Structure 1
Amino acid sequence: MSEAKKVAIIGAGPVGLAAAAHVLERGLQPIVLEAGDKVGHAMRQWGHVQLFSPWEYNVDKAATRLLATTGWNSPEPDQYPTGMEMVERYLEPLAAHTALEPHIRTSSRVTAISRTGFDKMKTKGREKAPFEIRYQNGQGPKVVNADAIIDASGTWHSPNPAGANGLSAIGEADTADRIAYGMPDVLGKDRARYAGKTVAVLGAGHSAIGTLTDLAKLARDAPGTQPIWLLRGSDPAKAFGGGANDKLVARGELGAVFTALVKAGSIKVESEFRVSHLVADGPRLVVGGLSACSARQAVVDQLIVATGFRPDLEFLRELRIRLDPAIECPVALAPLIDPNEHSCGTVRPHGARELAQDEPGFYFAGMKAYGRAPTFLMVTGYEQVRSIAADIAGDREAAERVELVLPETGVCNRSPAPAAGNCCGGPALSDVDACCVADEKAKQQGKSGCGCASSA
């Protein structure tokens, strides 16, 4: 792809705009297609949420170099932005830069991609044909061609359903008016929907515990507000995190606050609750589920489903894509992020080699690259697109080079209360079979490993 001149980038979020900045630095022409009417459309949906990582890990180097030419006032590196602060102080100034703004097309939803003159079955000469990208805007269907594509469209608009088996719960579509997905702003613009109500939150990740923590705050000001935590697993402590052991301090603090709320009884816990059906009962919602021994139900006013996200792959059907069958991420990336096997939240840096597909010139990046895995860090996405832009430009040495040092999470997921000896020692540098650098060093010394991936 050394002769590629035009690079289509799907998505104008942080990773998509960073990709455009790197593509510009390489002397290539970006075309950024954003489904929303503004850049950072998905991030605006959770603009009230504070990030766990400070500014220093949330701005891309190429984007910073571009912004520096405008006299951009960079935020303090150790401060923690909200999603909306990221949009207003970083993404909007970046998108407005005279070098980048002409290349961004908002309200442009990609609907299909193929090779010009080639369907999925045809091989001979395929790699030389340009990509044909179809998208929809206010003027109807449009077509643009490109030499390479970076899909950084994210997963925000494809939330996982409430059903415990990966399918929608029976009745989920019929009761959609009483269900929200992700992280609604329960203390802000969505307050009226939840104040004084019984609200169930389904999920065990940081989105779930953050929302439950906000609901507990709302309950102090709005009598009658009752948060209920619907937990599919049997051990609530697994969601509490590592507290002071977590090197992402804000995330550790959230876990500590949430732990105290649960222990104080401010949040009702329903563990081993696997949702199977949802039924409207007048103004209320009956959440039916199963446990190991019996049928369960919770009667609530509102349900918030915070069970993660999955990639939208429909518009890629005519491309030759190879994904891990479980995680729906690039096959080479799967061993690094599989939550079934990988106990540590930190993932070693990776780039074009792990993200490239059988379709030459096509790459996944950002949250979309992680498929269904929940461990994505924004700075990882920036390293991805730096490497990808180098690969498209034909600079193999730069594409293979690692230019990122990740913050250690300091916590292994499989231990409900990790001691210092059970904490990961940072991301493995080269051994994809090692869960962390300590595990890697131990194996290089002929040992079985450091033990941080073992169960408590």
Structure 2
Amino acid sequence: MTLLDLTPRAATTNRSSTLPVAIIGAGPIGLAAAANLVERGIDFVVLEAGDEVAASVRAWGHTRLFSPWKHLVDPASRRLLQERGWELPDPERAPTGTELVEKYVAPLADVEPIASRVRTGVHVLGVTREGMDRTRTRGRAATPFAVRIRTSDGTVEEIAARAVIDASGTYLSPNSLSSSGLELLGMGEISEAVTPALPDVLGHDRGRFAGRRATVVGAGHSAANTLLGLVELARQEPGTSITWLIRNAQAVRVSASTDDELADRARLGSRVDQAVADGLIDVLDGFEIIRGRRTSEAVELVGHRNGEVVAHATDVVVNATGFRPDLDILREIRLELDEIVEAPKRLAPLIDPNVHSCGTVEPHGFRELTHPEQDFFIVGMKSYGRAPTFLLATGYEQVRSVTAWLAGDTASAANVELVLPATGVCSTDLGDGGGCCS
């Protein structure tokens, strides 16, 4: 393995070549990018908005993943860790999100030369080229990137970078509760009653749900996990009631399927189906939410159903409607995105949720992730835009290919492979390669 050479480099005609690669996000994918850059001998800096690495994964850490350890560790990261005596946990056991962080992601972040290059509590405000907005072309490719950040003490500064890898995920940018996609009308009235996806209903968030009316909005596996947690809570806490609100006539993505690639995911669907059949979960289907409002006794979701405007009263709402990429920080970067799913244009046909499941997406690398902005890449869950499924191992292959390209190893960058058993490694609904079913 080639470690980083920290001695001053000789001056070159291209200043960018002397600068680090900026990685946005210190989750599994961002740190995998770092590990691959270590092997390539390329300097880097990792910028993490959370106070700790893998902050998004920690937020749903109580949730157990669908896939076992053997499918959840990046090869370059594993080599780096094993050189320090790290051992892979039981390869056939599926960890929780917390276990994934504590036994893999956090130890990886503590390994030098990664540890000294991770900056936490850093919010990226924007990415551009030094002295150039997106309209200027002459000399653009040779001009360093400028990554504007705000640190935890409020200081705003800019970091110069030779390339940028955006692995910030999508967990912090959920879809709206509104069926229109715009911010829900009346959200300000009910915001205190709305929780993000995958609350810990049997642990940390128990008091918020116990003995109350809970409504879970969304048709994916994040919704299913929360529904099952609420079913158990209702057994323990009398008065807890559960409504599953979905826009369509049925939750196709959750309902059990005999040909599901992941057995645990299939069992999740079966358990939800059974809870519905047993009357433990009330299903409110075909409900298109148009606004929220607060009454003296409840929170109400108002929407269209069967051609009529109706209101659903509840105490607490779980927004499990999925996620979307935050593109605001990339306004001055020249992107080429699919007009529907907001994924890189060349990648979008490979991940179209109308055609593909997570197990049928082909391996892909720097070519499919390339934008008109040279040496800028969106990777991991954010690269999938609004597509609801993401293959964690595919994210690892993405960053292996991208870092090979940045190192000038075109042959390796172009040779993308993903060898997995038939079960695949699928992550649904969550950001940065984590997810309840990775």
Q: TM-score, normalised by structure 1?
A: 0.87
> Following the alignment from structure 2 to structure 1, what is the Cα–Cα distance between the partners of residues 381 and 357?
19
Which among 39, 42, 46 is matched to residue 32 of structure 1? 46
After TM superposition, give the deviation of residue 337 of structure 1 in Å. 1.2
> Is the aligned partner of 1:61 residue 2:39?
no
Is contact 1:32-1:103 (8 Å) kept?
Answer: yes
Which residue in the other structure is 2:290 paired with? 276
> Following the alignment from structure 2 to structure 1, what is the Cα–Cα distance between the partners of residues 19 and 407?
9
Which residue in the other structure is 1:151 paired with? 166
Q: What count of residue pairs does the alignment treat as equivalent?
A: 409
After TM superposition, give the deviation of residue 345 of structure 1 in Å. 5.0
After TM superposition, give the deviation of residue 165 of structure 1 in Å. 1.2
CA shift in 2, pair 1:167/1:409, >3 Å: farther
Which residue in the other structure is 1:119 paired with? 133
Which residue in the other structure is 2:85 paired with? 71
Amino acid at match of 1:179: V
Which residue in the other structure is 2:301 paired with? 287
Is contact 2:126-2:329 (8 Å) kept?
Answer: yes
Which residue in the other structure is 1:7 paired with? 21
Amino acid at match of 1:22: N
After TM superposition, give the deviation of residue 57 of structure 1 in Å. 1.3
Is contact 2:256-2:273 (8 Å) kept?
Answer: no
Amino acid at match of 1:265: G
Amino acid at match of 1:194: F
After TM superposition, give the deviation of residue 142 of structure 1 in Å. 1.8
Which among 388, 403, 415 is matched to residue 389 of structure 1? 403
- After the TM superposition, which parts of structure 1 deviate over 3 Å for at least 4 consecutive aligned residues? 1-5, 340-346, 406-410
Which residue in the other structure is 1:190 paired with? 205
Which residue in the other structure is 2:250 paired with? 235
> Following the alignment from structure 2 to structure 1, what is the Cα–Cα distance between the partners of residues 286 and 265?
25
Q: Secondary structure at the match of 2:184?
A: coil
> Is the aligned partner of 1:379 residue 2:393?
yes
Residue identity (%): 47
Amino acid at match of 1:391: W
Q: Secondary structure at the match of 2:389?
A: coil
> Following the alignment from structure 2 to structure 1, what is the Cα–Cα distance between the partners of residues 384 and 60?
19
How do 1:165-244 residues align onto structure 2 when only pairs under 5 Å count? Answer: 165-236=180-251, 239-242=254-257, 244=258
Which residue in the other structure is 2:179 paired with? 164
Is contact 1:346-1:408 (8 Å) kept?
Answer: no
Unaligned runs of 5+ in 1: 411-456
Cα root mean square deviation, aligned: 1.6
> Is the aligned partner of 1:20 residue 2:34?
yes
Q: Secondary structure at the match of 1:232?
A: coil
CA shift in 2, pair 1:332/1:4, >3 Å: farther
Is contact 1:344-1:409 (8 Å) kept?
Answer: no
CA shift in 2, pair 1:238/1:385, >3 Å: closer
Is contact 1:248-1:407 (8 Å) kept?
Answer: no
CA shift in 2, pair 1:267/1:354, >3 Å: same
> Following the alignment from structure 2 to structure 1, what is the Cα–Cα distance between the partners of residues 281 and 19?
55
Q: Secondary structure at the match of 2:312?
A: strand
> Is the aligned partner of 1:404 residue 2:418?
yes
Unaligned runs of 5+ in 2: 1-13, 425-438
Q: Secondary structure at the match of 2:157?
A: strand
- My pick for the range that moved more, 172-181 or 1-10, is 1-10
CA shift in 2, pair 1:217/1:389, >3 Å: same
CA shift in 2, pair 1:344/1:361, >3 Å: closer
> Following the alignment from structure 1 to structure 2, what is the Cα–Cα distance between the partners of residues 406 and 241?
23
Which residue in the other structure is 2:346 paired with? 332
Q: TM-score, normalised by structure 2?
A: 0.90
After TM superposition, give the deviation of residue 409 of structure 1 in Å. 5.4
How do 1:408-447 residues align onto structure 2 when only pairs under 5 Å count? Answer: 408=422
> Following the alignment from structure 1 to structure 2, what is the Cα–Cα distance between the partners of residues 169 and 49?
27
Kindly provide the CA deviation profile for residues 351-407 of structure 1, in whole angstroms up to 9, marking residues without a partner as x.
Answer: 110011100000010011011111112111101000000011111111111231244
> Following the alignment from structure 1 to structure 2, what is the Cα–Cα distance between the partners of residues 74 and 142?
39
After TM superposition, give the deviation of residue 117 of structure 1 in Å. 2.2
Which residue in the other structure is 1:435 paired with? none
After TM superposition, give the deviation of residue 56 of structure 1 in Å. 1.2
CA shift in 2, pair 1:194/1:285, >3 Å: same
Kindly provide the CA deviation profile for residues 167-195 of structure 1, in whole angstroms up to 9, marking residues without a partner as x.
Answer: 12211232100001211111110000001
After TM superposition, give the deviation of residue 104 of structure 1 in Å. 0.6
After TM superposition, give the deviation of residue 114 of structure 1 in Å. 1.0
Is contact 2:359-2:391 (8 Å) kept?
Answer: no
Amino acid at match of 2:404: A
CA shift in 2, pair 1:369/1:150, >3 Å: same
After TM superposition, give the deviation of residue 245 of structure 1 in Å. 2.8
> Following the alignment from structure 1 to structure 2, what is the Cα–Cα distance between the partners of residues 383 and 238?
26
After TM superposition, give the deviation of residue 262 of structure 1 in Å. 0.9
Q: Which has the higher contact order (CA 8 A, sep 6+)?
A: 2
Is contact 2:366-2:413 (8 Å) kept?
Answer: yes
CA shift in 2, pair 1:118/1:236, >3 Å: closer
> Following the alignment from structure 1 to structure 2, what is the Cα–Cα distance between the partners of residues 211 and 78?
25
Q: Secondary structure at the match of 1:288?
A: strand
Is contact 1:34-1:105 (8 Å) kept?
Answer: yes
> Following the alignment from structure 2 to structure 1, what is the Cα–Cα distance between the partners of residues 359 and 299?
35
> Following the alignment from structure 2 to structure 1, what is the Cα–Cα distance between the partners of residues 30 and 300?
40
How do 1:336-355 residues align onto structure 2 when only pairs under 5 Å count? Answer: 336-342=350-356, 346-355=360-369
After TM superposition, give the deviation of residue 297 of structure 1 in Å. 1.8
Kindly provide the CA deviation profile for residues 246-286 of structure 1, in whole angstroms up to 9, marking residues without a partner as x.
Answer: 23121111111111111111100111011111111124111
Q: Secondary structure at the match of 2:188?
A: coil
> Following the alignment from structure 2 to structure 1, what is the Cα–Cα distance between the partners of residues 101 and 47?
17
